[in-house]
Structure 1
């Protein structure tokens, strides 16, 4: 398994962050179920949220209802938070065809909603994406020749497509400021894991698209990266252009921190970890319980991963630095939906996420809910 950074350096600190904490013991590919550091889940509240003691939840937006002066979009999906003076902004994608895009909600320092607005319109199936270090939002289209749009969460600048990042069924993106690359997942049953190397860090208008390649006899271990010659996929889909490319069963969420890029694959229900320093790929989680239907994910500076479920019993599960896996929250009454867009406020005190199809379970996402959970999160 991924080994701790402190093991590399010759020491071991159990409390070290998971992100970048490269776990010990390669034989233990299945993370054990255990007790959550927050304790058991309580009785569901009026909104159907079952939370540990000390945490509270609320609905901040619902599809078709007004929030901050605008109607909240259908099928809320990937999301991220951005600092905004003494408050913050939560950005959320809309995974519907033709009229997708993304919206933003502004919060004050006490969590009061100060306004809301669109930051991207008239794109298609905007699923997940990722935040950049220069505080823009990458909104990704989940269609066969989907694009990445770079959006301004503050609503000042016009969103623009970043075509050099490839035309494929984009899912999520995560930036690595040390190696100055953007990692990307592809939601195909034989999708690939990519990285984009911009010609200038901070500008995504041009650069080199590469695909991760693995040994044909193993899906873990050392990897290399090879260039995708036709990112626009005019002649051939990007995932077929490099013979040695590794293929993954339905790429979903993507999260980078401290030298490791974690990503999920939904068909085989795995969480992966790419050690960018050693250029090695490992499996972090490979089990059917308690976490099933792996999808979007995020993390904390203290090293906890929060992995959202697509379906199953609608939980966000916690993977701790000691590799314990346990539910952090459950959303009752939304069993035909999926949990999307988990993201922490800049101070780490609040977690945002959505139920894409809500109580009604409408595939068109006409009953989407967006939530906030506040409490004593480990940081």
Structure 2
């Protein structure tokens, strides 16, 4: 075990509590610093305008307002957050649509074991600004509406069951959701400059129809939100000592830690639920020549790497390694009026999916969804 992993293990083993432990974050490696990518430098742009490391290739799997190959389905505009679900030897990639005025929702791409597209279909419709969300352990997709009176919707990736509005999870500017099966809660981010970091505690795990909405406070306790409906008082204004986060974005849970991003200050956070600590994994003000700006959706890979997509910046998906190095993994060229989102891996971890929300046109109707294949670390 190397020094930084030893120190991290020592902190967890000692039963660290927030604000009660004297070792500072720099002593145990956070935050990540600019360094060389484990995949090497980016090569010149390929035929799809994507700069990738050696050994990786890209393909377009769907374009907004166009029929998906081998199907009769027209792919949605403004593709945003997404994730993959196992489907026999194949998988399903679900993607939100961040369209306004009831034109949002979510769709799915179905792949066989050879990565051929076999179907595409709608799994949620007639909703507004579906931005990010998160998968559940019982194989549903929580699709979140990003507006002041937005809801979370539980959807079926296979498109068989009707999507259900989960009002008990709160009505606010939802962004992402991440399930914690150990504590049996769902963490939620809020895309407001004075937003909160929430958790929903279902009455029965596996059933999101009822439960308590709570928000993280400044002393890292969880306080009940008195009125999850947020009317007339917004949920973020109901708990006086709520900890403020500047523009909550993506969320991803792994091994007792919920990682989430805040775009207002370009940070990646780690809430360690077992130790009840909150750390900054990445801050663009704390490294030289920061490669990651405009933090947005994020996901993880088998090697312990995090992949963070940019909304703005120079249109990159960056990697943050377990050794606390941050570097570009890919860059999309010629699409400066867009944003990258929906980054997710298939179950085998050898194919990455993501979208450029507005593509080369800069319009919601110009969205492009990509697949990257290659020797990802396992």
> What TM-score do the two structures reach when normalised by structure 1?
0.92
Q: CA deviation at 1:25?
A: 3.3
Q: CA deviation at 1:10?
A: 6.3
**Equivalent position to 1:83, from 83, 86, 96:** 86
In the alignment, the residues of structure 1 paired with residue 236 and residue 242 of structure 2 have an alpha-carbon distance, to the nearest angstrom, of: 7
| Corresponding residue for residue 184 of structure 2 | 180
In the alignment, does 2:353 pair up with 1:352? yes
In the alignment, does 2:228 pair up with 1:231? yes
Q: CA deviation at 1:99?
A: 1.0
In the alignment, does 2:237 pair up with 1:264? no
In the alignment, does 2:374 pair up with 1:370? no
| Corresponding residue for residue 72 of structure 1 | 75
Q: CA deviation at 1:376?
A: 0.8
Contact 2:12 2:275 (C-alpha < 8 Å) held by counterparts: no
Question: For 1:8-157, what aligned pairs fall within 5 Å after superposition?
Answer: 8=11, 25=26, 30-67=31-68, 68-97=71-100, 98-157=102-161
Instruction: Give the 3-state SS of the residue equivalent to 1:116 in structure 2.
Output: strand
Q: CA deviation at 1:300?
A: 1.2
**Equivalent position to 1:162, from 166, 172, 175:** 166
**Cα distance change, pair 307–2 in 1 and its aligned pair in 2 (3 A):** farther
**Cα distance change, pair 270–375 in 1 and its aligned pair in 2 (3 A):** same
Instruction: Give the 3-state SS of the residue equivalent to 1:102 in structure 2.
Output: strand
Instruction: Give the 3-state SS of the residue equivalent to 1:164 in structure 2.
Output: helix
Instruction: Give the 3-state SS of the residue equivalent to 2:327 in structure 1.
Output: strand
Deviations 1:140-174 (A, max 9, x none): 00010100000000111000000000000000000
Greater helix percent: which structure?
2
Equivalent residue pairs, number: 360
Question: For 1:203-282, what aligned pairs fall within 5 Å after superposition?
Answer: 203-215=207-219, 223-282=220-279
| Corresponding residue for residue 295 of structure 1 | 296
In the alignment, the residues of structure 2 paired with residue 199 and residue 94 of structure 1 have an alpha-carbon distance, to the nearest angstrom, of: 30
Question: For 1:337-348, what aligned pairs fall within 5 Å after superposition?
Answer: 337-348=338-349
Contact 2:78 2:357 (C-alpha < 8 Å) held by counterparts: yes
Q: CA deviation at 1:32?
A: 1.2
Contact 2:141 2:154 (C-alpha < 8 Å) held by counterparts: yes
Contact 1:173 1:183 (C-alpha < 8 Å) held by counterparts: yes
**Equivalent position to 1:197, from 185, 201, 221:** 201
Gaps of 5+ in 1: 12-22, 216-222
In the alignment, the residues of structure 1 paired with residue 341 and residue 371 of structure 2 have an alpha-carbon distance, to the nearest angstrom, of: 12
Q: CA deviation at 1:7?
A: 2.9
| Corresponding residue for residue 332 of structure 1 | 333
